[in-house]
Chain A
Amino acid sequence: MAVRRINIKDTRNFEKRKVDKKFVIKNLFGYLKPYAPLLALVFFANILGTVSNLVGPWLCGLAIDNIEIRDFAKIAFYAELLVSLYVVSALLEYLSAVGMAYISRGIVKKMRNDTFRRLSTLPVGYFDVRQAGDIISVLSYDIDTVGESLANDVIIVLKSSVMIVGSLVMMIIIAPVLVLVFVVTVPLSVIMTRIIVGRVQPLFRKRSQKLGELNGYVEEITTGQKTTRAYNCEEKIIADFEVKNEEAINAYSRAEYFGTISGPCVNMVNNLSLTLVSVFGALLYMFTVGGMTTGQISSFILYSRKFSGPINEIANIMGEFQSAIAAAERVFRVQAEEPEPADKEGAETLENVRGDVDIEHLTFGYVEGKTVIKNFSLSVKSGQVVAIVGHTGAGKTTIINLLMRFYDAGGGTIKIDGKNVENLTRASVRAAFTMVLQDTWLFAGTVYENIAYGNPDVTREDVIRVCKAAKIHSFITKLPQGYDTLLTDNAVNISKGQKQLLTIARAMLLDSPMLILDEATSNVDTRTEQIIQEAMGNLMKGRTCFVIAHRLSTIRHADKILVMKNGDVVEQGTHDSLMAQGGYYAELYYSQFESV
């Protein structure tokens, strides 16, 4: 349905405002809560594993000290201890990683399902003003970011903190003076990482933006490759591409220049602390009585590695955490969207519908302050055919949106069988209509599933019957697996017209008292249309019909014709009365016979 799309260009850049951390954390907490015991277990295993990992260097140092004095019994003892320690530590590390993967998988799944469930309750208007891509990226990319952050970052931060504190404690125990080295190197590395990240992030953003532009251009041009050749403008197009290509590569290089600095810099700081520790360690060993053994120096060096590594890691992860929180916020914003208003309390279910529709003084606008439909009234008796004509964009589909209660009217009432639709349940109002739309909607499933979609109780015979009526049966039987052929994106070559016939068949299976045909046969060629005319006639017989069509011949016999122009209903009447009136309708009608 051609609803005006308000182009929200990439909502991501839109939200420059600050992330509401409290809102995010409160929601995230709800997801973590069911896993509290397991989470505690994972944390415990992790801490235990890390601690046992930390004891390692200390034992190593003791063992190395014994190398000097050649005490093999002691060395063997320490070696055994080390082996069991390392095995236990590895096991615990593995278990906590798997445990966290399990938790994050559960949370990601629930988050996706919750978000999708919320989406399924949102009003049509929500989807009309958003790009499908934005919604998809929340469900896939954003939730993935949150999940990955949970699975990896949480563990790393936990492990790193234990590691940092633990190795710091161990180093202080071994040689408090040497720890002073880190008073210099740690702030150095943290500040450096911060500066680099601060510099690099905008560059990387620019890089993805430029790459996105290049990809967008490539997509366009490749799709229209024939056009380019038809206009002989390959050279111009290639020159344009070259500009974008150059920009993208420059942005890439600039970002990478800075991005690849951070690794060597971090290494440098590590090497610096290694040097300082070695020199001062050696000095301590030489010039203080009982200051340090070589074993202690070696443990200290091992600890210093375990100490500085995690600090850098945490510094790196902070950036990821921020993007995870921003992603989580987008997810929770969708979950917090206002669903379609609930049916009124005590709302009636519309049953045994005759199909009388009365519209009184209807007013409506998609955007507040911009009225599209003004004071519109219409009375349709059961079984009548109402045609809506007018230019593209004249607001024809708006009427359908209101009838189906995809949008709620701003003022005035719509009555079905004399009952105000506001007092009826939405589901029952919608069930009273069958729609065939210009934009055919088929999903990735079998042909059979697609046709039986609205009515799962039907038999195969029913499906075949309607397909025969819609003149699509012989096409279907020629498909590789007949009615069980999967309709996926590219697998089956199926034309727009055939798609439309399939949706007509789908509509024929529904037994609703009212019918909406929005350019239902616009893609069907005239010959086929002629052939299915009888079936369409049967479909319309006895039903209240709302028909939108370009082709005026199809609506000549309508009981009522609404002529729309710029959102207003400018004329109303039958074909004959409108022709006699000699107004806009007559002008439209004559124009199709006009010969030059």
Chain B
Amino acid sequence: MTKTLRYIKPYGGTVALGLILKFFGSVAELFLPLLLKWIIDGVAANEALNSDQKLRWTLIFGGLMLVCAAVALLGNIFANRLTVKSSGRMTHDLRYDLFKKTCYLNSAQVDGFGVPSLISRLTSDSYYVNQMVARTLRLGVRAPILILGGLILAFTQDAVLACVLLACVPLVGVTVFFITRKSIPVFFEVQRKQDEMVRRTQENVTGVRVIKALAKGEYEVGKFEDVTGDLAATEFRANRMMSLSNPLATLILNLGLVVLIAVGAACHSSSGTVLEFLQFFTIILNAMIALTKIFVVISRGSASASRIESVLDMDTAETIQNCPAGDSRYKIEFRDVSFSYNGVENNLNNVNFAICGGQTLGIIGATGSGKSTIINLLMHFYDVNSGQIFVDGRDVRNYPAAELRTKFGAAFQNDFLMAATVRENVDYGRNLSDEQINRAIDCAQAREFIDGLDGGLEFDLAQKANNLSGGQKQRLLIARALAASPEIIILDDSSSALDYATDAALRKALAREYASSAKVIVAQRISSVKHADLILVLDDGNVIGAGTHEQLLETCGEYKLIYTTQMGAGGEEY
């Protein structure tokens, strides 16, 4: 957690000022009972004063009480403002650094964390840290000051009575602490069961057709009722436990009061003192309750902080390696490349191929055969385990990442679109000209549907582009890949949702408009790669066929099999 806390440092001055104000505000509040006592004991019940003096002193002390109340008000308000400011800025900085780090993580690191986990670190975890800091600064200081100050003041007034107070404080603290600690796991359990219920609902909404088709509605209701029954029982258990805390704390304090009166009577304390102590009791009780609430916030916040730190601790410094030059004369060359994601099983075995600028490479094979892995290695998202990959005659590991990747325009499998305008999605922060964007849109066969959208290029996409169909999304992704006229265009299974006619028109336009770019096309459909200068057939990480369409029909049984399956027996006629 130390690393997270260091983010407060730049705002140390603000925090310190806030704490000082808070301190004065809280102390002012503590003076109220003291003044109250002086009014009752020192003035009202003081036989030595005449009535004029009594009136004067009562009003003076009353005025002082008002001043204290005002100081408490202003001190707390300004202190809160300062703590809100510092906790807000601190969260801002932390989140910024975390996001930046996340953007620069390499693919292996992203795989290590998992995307959902990274998202929750950026969203809920950073929120919990914010809560922790804000609450602690706001209440975590006030409560101890009130408790401690209250106790100190009490001791200066009447040591014996103060001991009664002192005895009650830990008792309440321990009781509430234990109840809270015992119920936290139950609340986590409630959360888990709640998630289960949410999942069931989600399943039922997405599977509504299957459930209706199989008339399983009643069955699903039964299963749902099991879950809600379970959830309700756990929730009840948690609430029953938490319901103990308030009555118990109040009871202890109230019993303390009675003891106080008894002790006060025994020790000949003045009624003003007893009255004053009653006030201390109330203040301290409230402070104790606030403290236990903070306890929950801190335990959750520190867990979140350490999750955030594990991302921040990642090393994302770019290392440009110095691999042997290897005299490749091609645009892209794979030389004896082997690779494994997990270090156990190879995902690629001794892959060799090369293409020149302007040529097209097609990659075909079953799911999991290593098609996307070739792309991942080519763009240097991962390091090869053995062999070398050259782009323009230079090992990809010898490039600075930015220099290498500007050569590419890529549409990945299941790539994403932002909730932004069509134009922004195609441009993707590269400040491209209108001409480039329009050319890419035309070539990607996206013109027709974009013109049909409300606002055309300025049409706003919904989150995950839910307001576009699968084929429309793919065409936008392709347009994005083309827009900067890159040296190498990569289309990883990006035309699967297009019908054949559109797919064919896309291929024609690609060849015409981007003739000088090298193209790497990964596909399931043979028609998408048939025209390529070189086609790789992958099976389980091995290249089992390489050549042109015609060559492969002769030499690669697997390719021929795929071809006949897809095109039907009469395929060759056309």
Contacts and interface: CB of A to CB of B under 8 A. Distances in A.
B390 interface: no
Contacts of B29: 267, 271
A593 B257 contact: no
Contact of B212 (A211, A261, A276, A430): A430
Interface residues of B, number: 170
B217 A528 contact: no
Majority DSSP secondary structure for residues of A touching B: helix
A185 to B, nearest CB: 11
B55 A283 contact: yes
B151 interface: no
A377 to B, nearest CB: 25
B250 A93 contact: yes
Contacts of B25: 264
B262 interface: yes
Given A222-B118, A261-B77, A233 B40 contact: no
A67 B470 contact: no
Interface string A214-229: 1111111111111111
Interface in B182-233: 194, 197-199, 201-218, 220-221, 224-225, 228-229, 231-233
B467 A7 contact: yes
Nearest to B470: A392
A72 interface: yes
A590 B496 CA distance: 17
B568 A591 contact: no
A595 interface: yes
Nearest to A76: B262
B179 to A, nearest CB: 12
Contact of A588 (B81, B500, B511): B500
A403 B405 CA distance: 50
21 contacts: A5-B467, A64-B271, A67-B274, A108-B232, A109-B231, A113-B228, A132-B201, A220-B463, A230-B405, A231-B428, A234-B103, A237-B103, A249-B92, A257-B80, A257-B84, A261-B80, A392-B499, A444-B199, A527-B366, A528-B366, A587-B501
A526 B69 CA distance: 80
B88 A253 contact: yes
Interface in B488-525: 497, 499-504, 507-508, 511, 524-525
B119 A218 contact: yes
Given A234-B104, A525-B366, A596-B508, A297 B410 contact: no
Which of A263, A283, A592 has most B Cβ within 10 Å? A592
Contacts of A227: 410, 412, 415-416, 428
B265 A66 contact: yes
A365 interface: no
B469 A595 contact: no
B552 interface: no
A278 B212 contact: no
Interface string A95-118: 001100110011011001100110
A140 B497 contact: no
Which of A140, A256, A510 has most B Cβ within 10 Å? A256
Given A112-B224, A285-B40, 10 more contacts: A64-B274, A105-B235, A116-B225, A136-B201, A249-B92, A267-B29, A279-B39, A435-B213, A526-B565, A591-B501
B275 interface: yes
B66 A275 contact: yes
A358 interface: no
The 7 tightest CB contacts between A and B, nearest first, are A236-B429, A224-B416, A279-B62, A271-B69, A553-B568, A264-B76, A592-B500
Given A2-B469, A435-B209, A238 B103 contact: yes
A439 B207 CA distance: 9
B102 to A, nearest CB: 6
A433 B429 CA distance: 50
Contacts of A184: none
A206 interface: no
Given A136-B201, A279-B39, A283-B58, A529 B261 contact: no
A67 B76 contact: no
B247 A140 contact: no
Interface in A491-522: 495-497, 510
